[in-house]
Amino acid sequence: MDDCKPVQTPMATTASSSSGGALMTDPTPYWSIVGALYYATLMRPDIAFYVNCACQHMHEPTEEHWALVKRILHYMKHTRFHGLLLERSPNVTLQAFSDADWVGSSLDRHSTGDFAIFLGPNLIS
> What is the pLDDT, as a whole number, of residue 19?
59
The residue that leads in pLDDT, 109 or 65, is 65
- Give 34-48 pLDDT, tens digit per residue: 999 999 988 888 899
In 3D space, the residue among 61, 39, 47 whose CA is nearest the CA of residue 10 turns out to be 47
Number of other CB atoms surrounding residue 50 within 10 Å: 19
The secondary structure element, H or E, covering residue 72 is helix 63-78
User: Which tens digit of pLDDT belongs to each residue from 52-78?
Assistant: 999 999 999 999 999 999 999 999 888
**What pLDDT is attached to residue 15?**
57
User: What are the CB-based long-range contacts (under 8 Å, 24+) for 49-56?
Assistant: 50/10, 50/11, 53/11
pLDDT of 6 over the 90 cut: no
Quote the strand ranges of the chain, DSSP E. 94-101, 112-119, 122-123
- Cα–Cα distance, 49 to 11 (Å, whole number): 10
Q: If you average pLDDT over residues 71-96, what whole number do you get?
A: 87
Whether 101 shows a pLDDT value over 70: the answer reads: yes
Domain ranges of the chain: 1-84, 94-123
